[in-house]
Structures are given as structure tokens and as C-alpha cells.
Structure 1
């Protein structure tokens, strides 16, 4: 088991759920609402699991890849992205399911999430795979899976100040 594979699996599930929303008839508001509720909860639990388990480990072992300055840059950007996703998810709640405004808000959430996943997959996760040993990746996978299972019904969505998160997390490592 490898934490980077669990994160990739979660990303695929997020893509799948957004895709399902695109295929449900807009008049089936109960189905749209149920799938969206599942997706919104999943997005937040996943983000919080990354913030609790993955990013602290990335800060310990990462060295940077691509155009990043290092794991600090990758983490700051990821926390900012998580906040944008949280804000987009909150925006969806302002509209009745199936309306044009709701679909636009869902599309905006999908875009924010897709941008984040692509960047994370090419930077932070690549950095971590290149610099973390297999036992560490396995141990973190267990912690990540446990966190998500323990919070299956959700966590309170709270935006993090990226710089404070970085400072506090580095103080714990």
C-alpha cells in the first residue's frame, strides 16, 4: 500500500463523481443532490486527510520537482487550492440542485479541483515518490486510509491560512 496510490485513487473517484453529475437529468434533483452531497463530503475529507497526513510528510522528505522551489512551495500552493475548492463547494450550496446556477457552480468546483489534482499529481506526489522510502509510504497510507474511514460522514470545512499551516506544520516535524 502506498499513500500516493491512495491519493490517486481518491482523485479518480472525484473525477468519476463529477462525471456522474454531468450525466443525471437535471430534473432528477434528488439524485443530483445525493451525489453532490457525497462528492462535497468526499472532497473535504480528502483535503483534510492530505493536510493531516500527506503534506507534513512531504515537508519532511520532499526536495521539490519541476518549477517548484521545494516542498514548502508545493504545500503552500496545495493549501491555497484546498481553500479555493472549499469556497467553490460552499458556493454550490447557494443554489437549488439542477438549476443553471447550480450547474455552473458545480463546474467551477470541478475546475478548481481538477487544477489542484493535476498540479499535485505532477509536483507534490512526484516529489514524495522520488524521496520517500516504501515503508514510509506504506505507513502513511495506513494513516490516510484510517483518517478517511474515521471521518466518512465528513469533517468541518475550514479554510487554512497557507503560511500559518506551513509554520505550524514545520514546527511539528
Structure 2
């Protein structure tokens, strides 16, 4: 598992579900509400998991990818985007399903989320691929998916975060527990003996019979 691949796959799922809503029968309000609820949970749990597990490690290792000025600016923008998405999601909840107000809020959520995903893929994920070890990317993915699996059934309460306070609070040069575990995994892999190149017993027997 690789956290950058996990995030990409979930981005694809979000895009697919917004497309599903666009094609859903407008008079099936019960169906619209059900599809939206699933998407709402996916959006918020994904955002919270990024803020808990991905962005702190990006702040520690990143330098700013693509057109980002710095890793701080990169992450601040991402948290701002999450807040915009949360605001649109709240407006969806306040409107009658299928109404003009509801659809306007859904479209706003789609616009903000699409902008966020494009920037994150271009900057954050590229930055992390270039800086993080495969072991760290795996460990973050495990923690990220574990958190999501525990919360996907019911969802979580969206909570905005101040982007500057978030970056200031999360940025550190000290390796996290996840990073330390990844380092141990890498050390263990490096000291593991090579796989034996000797033929198996079955192969030897087959050779003798020939």
C-alpha cells in the first residue's frame, strides 16, 4: 500500500459519485439523499484522515511541489479547501433534497472538491513521492485506511481548522511514531538475508528423473 495511491483512488471515487449524482433521476429524492449521504461521509472522513496522517508527514518532509511556493503554503491551501468543502456540505444539509438550493450547494461542493483534488495531486502527492520512503508511504496508508474503516459506517462531525494554526501546530522536525515504525521496517528489510537461490527439493527430484 502507498498513501499517495490510496488518496488518488479515493479521489477517483469522489469524482465518480459526483458524476452519479448528476445522472440520477431528479424526482428520486430518496435515492439522491442516499447517494449524497455516502458521498458526504467519504468527503469528510477522507479530509480528516488526510489532516491526521498525511499532511503532518508532508509538513515534516516536503519542500513544496510543482507550483507551490513552499510546503507550508501547500498544506495551508489544502486545509482551506477542506473548509470550503465542509461549508458547502453544511449547506446541502440545510436544504431540501433535490431543491434548487440543494443542487447549488452540491455543485459548490463539487467545484471546491475538484479544485482541491487537482492541486493536491499536482503539488502535495508529487512532493511526498519525491521525499518519502516506500516504507513510510506504506505505514501512513495503513493508519489512514484503518481510521477510515472505523468511521465510514456513521461518518464524523465536520470541524473546520484554521490553516495557519494547523500548520504551526503540526510542523516538526521530530519523526512521528509512524515515521519511526517505517524506519524500523526499512532497517529490518535491509538486514534480512537474501532469498536462497538453491533449487527446491521438488525441482532437484524432477531433474534427477530426467
* Category of TM-score, reference length = shorter chain: over 0.9
TM-score relative to the length of structure 1: 0.96
**Alignment match, 2:25:** 25
The 1:19/1:154 distance shift into structure 2, 3 A limit, reads same
Distance 1:32 1:172, change over 3 A: farther
Which runs of 5 or more residues in structure 1 are unaligned?
none
Larger RCO of the pair (alpha carbons < 8 Å, separation 6+): 1
Deviations 1:70-105 (A, max 9, x none): 211110000000000000111111211111221111
Segments ≥4 residues shifted beyond 2 Å:
none
TM-score (norm 2): 0.80
User: Which structure 2 segments of 5+ residues have no match?
Assistant: 175-210
Corresponding residue number in structure 2 for 1:168: 169
In structure 2, the partner of 1:133 is 133
Largest Rg, 1 or 2 = 2
Q: Please, what is the CA RMSD of the aligned residues?
A: 1.2
Alpha-carbon contact 2:59-2:172 (below 8 Å) kept: no
Question: Which whole-Å CA distance do the structure 1 matches of 2:131 and 2:171 have between them?
Answer: 18
Deviations 1:8-39 (A, max 9, x none): 01101101111111111111000000010111
Tell me if the contact between 2:65 and 2:123 (Cα under 8 Å) persists in the aligned partners. yes
